Structure 1
């Protein structure tokens, strides 16, 4: 298919005959989007929102974890190009709803603000790019505005990524990001650790603020009002699980301030990674058991939960190349009962 403009008719026919292509004229659709000489309008791009919604609805039939949904949202947003602001807002809304509720409809209050979600991981976000800034970066690269000024987009490398970083600016690094986003940590544990770091896990004391008529007692022990500090630090069930985890691994995981312990971990890169995996695994499974007790009235005994955490970490260790481990690392893993 060829689109020819300003070409004499005789030359045009020669080109079409030699190439064997057919002639088309603007506007036309390519991959579902209109290609035209004028700027795309909101109604021209509605089909893109519909296609994304249809794809997400097909995803929604499956029960993805938060970590799985995050991967899919990044895949959708990474394929964006220059679009009207209204369409960008709609696409972000669809992705936001899918991330938090596995649906394209707004049915649940987001646990963390979208502005925070769109920050880099080292700044406390999920590494999703702000699509409005991406739009500006792509437009800025195309027109190369303020090209001759120092600290301008041109000096940012004249690439969409460089332009985006320049427009976004530098943020504040959070201390816990290396503990949460560690390669040794199971992905769904990473996401739960991220929510925990933001204090975004909705306990009964917070749900009462929304006017819900609920039982305020802890779903794990039933002996005190449920709040973040109690669930992870004060609950008898959580303390028993952490105690079993320490016995099974020879680690000294505290029954309070788990995240701080993960941040302050010592040793080689592998040793720090495994310690972070234990801490994030403890956070994930305590909250998972809390939800199982709340929704299904099922609660696993603390020892079995600790054994499950250790089994998950041993599996990740077995999947690693032994050549990446030093003799000191292998000895440490044996002493910690992971080998």
Structure 2
């Protein structure tokens, strides 16, 4: 009805519990390529083990790349706080919705955030005045409201359990 057609030249067929011969035959019939897991689909690594740090490297790289573009020596603590809360905390959300984040990845991202926040105006490593756990606490509990990625990850994953329990899954 819409006139959309499948572009088989861009399509990939991945066989699951099939022999290579069967997959090759299907690929020839459809005119598509033979693929294998792991692969990326819509930015999510299919077939990759989310418990391995290697799977999370693109997320860590995004955070590091974003920090490289910001000149922290020209920013006040308030401006750094806004950037951490608005940008850095939201970069891994897509992954956090689907996978449980390993502790090492959470530690790495938190360390990048804290290093950026405490960096001095001359670009040198600064001294932390208060603990990062206090900064992560909500404002109502005396913190700055940065949030904890581990708790955010748990909440997002529990959301799926709740959807499936209520049988109201949006998918």
The partner residue of 1:28 within 39, 47, 55 is 39
User: Aligned match of 1:127 in 131, 145, 148?
Assistant: 145
Instruction: Quote the offset at 1:87 in angstroms.
Output: 0.8
Q: Which has the higher helix share?
A: 1
Tell whether the 8 Å contact from 1:69 to 1:102 is kept in structure 2 after alignment. Answer: no
Larger Rg: 1
CA-to-partner distance for each residue in 1:225-262, whole Å, 9 max, x for gaps? Answer: xxxxxxxxxxxxxxxxxxxxxxxxxxxxxxxxxxxxxx
Give the corresponding residue for 1:79.
91
Match of 1:91? 109
Provide closer, same or farther for how the CA distance between residues 90 and 3 of structure 1 changes in structure 2, counting only shifts above 3 A: farther
C-alpha distance in structure 1 between counterparts of 2:29 and 2:79, whole Å = 49
CA distance 1:71–1:16, shift in 2 (3 Å)? farther
Q: Does 1:55 align with 2:73?
A: no
* Displacement of 1:68: 1.9
After superposition, the Cα gap between the structure-2 partners of 1:138 and 1:65, relative to the gap in structure 1 and judged at 3 Å, is: same
Structure 2 matches for 1:5-24, cutoff 5 A? 5-6=15-16, 9=23, 12-13=26-27, 16-17=30-31, 22-24=33-35
TM-score (norm 1): 0.35
Runs of 5+ unmatched residues, structure 2: 1-10
Q: Please give the alpha-carbon distance, in whole angstroms, between the structure 2 residues aligned to 1:54 and 1:32.
A: 17
Find 2:156's aligned residue among 138, 147, 150: 138
How far is 1:78 from its partner?
A: 1.8
**1:40 aligned to 21, 43, 51, which one?**
51
Q: How many residues align?
A: 146
Q: Does structure 2 conserve the Cα–Cα contact (< 8 Å) formed by 1:26 and 1:36?
A: yes
Aligned: 1:108 with 2:126: yes
Q: Report the alpha carbon displacement of residue 22 of structure 1 after superposing the two structures with TM.
A: 4.3
Structure 1: which 5+ residue stretches go unaligned?
149-153, 159-339
Question: Higher strand share goes to which structure?
Answer: 2
Equivalent position of 1:4 in the other structure? 14
1:296 counterpart residue number: none
- Which aligned pairs between 1:215-230 and structure 2 lie closer than 5 A? none
Q: Secondary structure at the match of 1:112?
A: coil
Shift of 1:37: 4.4
Partner SS, residue 70 of structure 1: helix
| TM-score, with length taken from structure 2 | 0.63
Alignment RMSD: 3.8
For residues 26 and 58 of structure 2, the distance between their equivalents in structure 1, rounded to whole angstroms, comes to 33
